[in-house]
A and B are shown apart, each in its own frame.
Chain A
Amino acid sequence: MTLDPIKPAFDPVTWAIPVFVITIVGEIILGRLGKVKANYEARDTATSLLMGLGSTIAGALLAGSIALVSIWIWENHRLLDIPMTAWWAWLAIFFLEDATYYWFHRIAHERRFWWASHVNHHSSQHYNLATALRQTWTGGVAGTWLLWLPLALIGFPPAMIAIQKGISLVYQYWIHTEAIRRMPRWFEAVFNTPSHHRVHHARNARYLDANYAGILIIWDRMFGTFIPEDEAEPPRYGLVKNLGDFNILRVAFHEWIGIGKDLMSARSPRDVIGYLFGPPGWSPDGSRETSATLKARWRERQAAAEADPAPPMAAE
């Protein structure tokens, strides 16, 4: 068997599109029949699906040049010759790609420049299979694809990297649902699941900046970003500051516009760096909320509630 190392033999995402449609239809109908927990709001659904459609167009526009960089590195600078037909090569790329995804995703949340691209995936206040398709339009511009280049440098064929990235994206689709409460214990221990990823999409202070996993949750457990879903506190989905309307241009570009506005008001190189690469919500005087300040305040309230079990705000 031969596999083209440059041109992927297949694109997992293209193959999965019919499955996306069938399962979304299924989730809506089962939700309607009251068989599973599923909330859909038509305009929110439209926004998610149009973002998904738009991202395939934006992706196609840049995919060629991004692929060329990966191919160039692999053809001219690869350190090892990795055969695409070896089982161990697929096993290796499964782990290495997933670790890459974890770090991509963590940076995409913790640094504003990359958050500006990723934020749209979190902009829905819903969590259903349509939300999974709310994908970025500006990932190519944000340059997060650079993080996958080391795989080509090691010697993984570009087609192999592309296929594994596709597999990861398809895997992450099915976990965007409230219909599944918990998977078996062993599965929850190793894999990213609906429960883990609900926490990731939650705007509750206690759940912020957690569960960056792609396929395997082990990276979060290893690097200290794992937070389990607490039955006592259901996730509320969306952004810390939710969008004011369903305009898809706002979804795609609002954080970039925010960065632009802030840069115009920057008064020092420190401001510029902070606004671009600080955590989302960074401001020169610390007057805006960041995940860290929100979490700190939540912890204070928790401590206060524990010290005095019946203050009026104890529940939140």
Chain B
Amino acid sequence: MNGMVIQLLGSAVAVAAMVALAAWARIPRPTPPLDAEAVRRLLAIDYPDNLLEDIWIAADGAGAIVRSGPRALVLSRLGDSWVTRDIAWEAALAAPIRGGRVRLKLADPSAPRLSLAVSGVNPWPPQGDLELAA
């Protein structure tokens, strides 16, 4: 038993050291802030057959919500990678904003919540385009 505890502690220290090294190395994939072009390219991977209508990009450039007919395609950065999901457009419009982020609830245990940064100049839902809210 003692041996196992020591082994576990040793492994935990090794894990911490490797994670620290990975952080120090700074070799993630580059993820510059999104622009419309990048949003289209990234969403085309998971939604190749969808027509992308209105593109809204999060205030920090780390996510996007795009209308595609009755659906909202959501793109969200996780570390140096991307996560996509789609929800009803109405549900996306109705999503609450807390702590400067629009909080999207998904009925999916693999990604129950995604949140994207909003700001005064970049509010959600997008303003000034009444068509969007219709």
B45 neighbours in A (Cβ, 8 Å): 236, 316
Give the interface segment out of B54-62, B80-88, B92-100, B124-132: B80-88
In the complex, what distance in Å separates the CA atom of A21 from the CA atom of B22? 12
User: Do A243 and B79 touch (CB < 8 A)?
Assistant: no
In angstroms, how far is the closest chain B Cβ from the Cβ of A294?
Answer: 10
If A32-B25, A246-B79, A258-B110 touch, whether A17 touches B11 (CB-CB below 8 Å) is yes
Interfacial residues of chain A within 18-45, with CB under 8 A of chain B in the complex: 21, 24-25, 28-29, 31-32, 38-45
* B19: contacting residue among A42, A244, A258, CB under 8 A: A42
If A32-B25, A244-B76, A261-B109 touch, whether A46 touches B83 (CB-CB below 8 Å) is no
B83 neighbours in A (Cβ, 8 Å): 242-244
In the complex, what distance in Å separates the CA atom of A29 from the CA atom of B17? 13
User: Do A28 and B4 touch (CB < 8 A)?
Assistant: no
* B109: contacting residue among A53, A57, A236, A254, CB under 8 A: A254
User: Do A45 and B19 touch (CB < 8 A)?
Assistant: yes
User: Do A241 and B108 touch (CB < 8 A)?
Assistant: yes
User: Do A40 and B28 touch (CB < 8 A)?
Assistant: yes
User: Do A28 and B21 touch (CB < 8 A)?
Assistant: yes
Who on chain B is nearest to A261 by CB? B109
Number of interface residues of B (CB under 8 A): 37
- Asked whether A60 is an interface residue with its Cβ less than 8 Å from the other chain, the reply is yes
User: Do A255 and B110 touch (CB < 8 A)?
Assistant: yes
Could you tell me the dominant secondary structure of chain A's interface residues?
helix
In angstroms, how far is the closest chain B Cβ from the Cβ of A262?
Answer: 10
- Asked whether B12 is an interface residue with its Cβ less than 8 Å from the other chain, the reply is yes
- Asked whether A235 is an interface residue with its Cβ less than 8 Å from the other chain, the reply is no
A125 neighbours in B (Cβ, 8 Å): 78-79, 81-82
* A57: contacting residue among B8, B15, B21, B48, CB under 8 A: B8
- Asked whether B91 is an interface residue with its Cβ less than 8 Å from the other chain, the reply is no
If A17-B11, A45-B19, A50-B15 touch, whether A241 touches B109 (CB-CB below 8 Å) is no
Listed by A's residue number, 27 A-B pairs whose Cβ atoms lie within 8 Å are A21-B14, A28-B25, A29-B25, A31-B25, A32-B25, A32-B26, A41-B79, A42-B19, A42-B23, A46-B15, A49-B18, A60-B4, A125-B79, A125-B81, A130-B22, A239-B110, A241-B85, A241-B111, A242-B81, A243-B83, A245-B111, A250-B109, A254-B109, A255-B110, A301-B49, A313-B49, A316-B45
The residues of A with any CB-CB pair to B shorter than 8 Å are 17, 21, 24-25, 28-29, 31-32, 38-46, 49-50, 53, 56-57, 60, 125-126, 130, 236, 238-239, 241-246, 250, 254-255, 257-258, 261, 297, 301, 313, 316
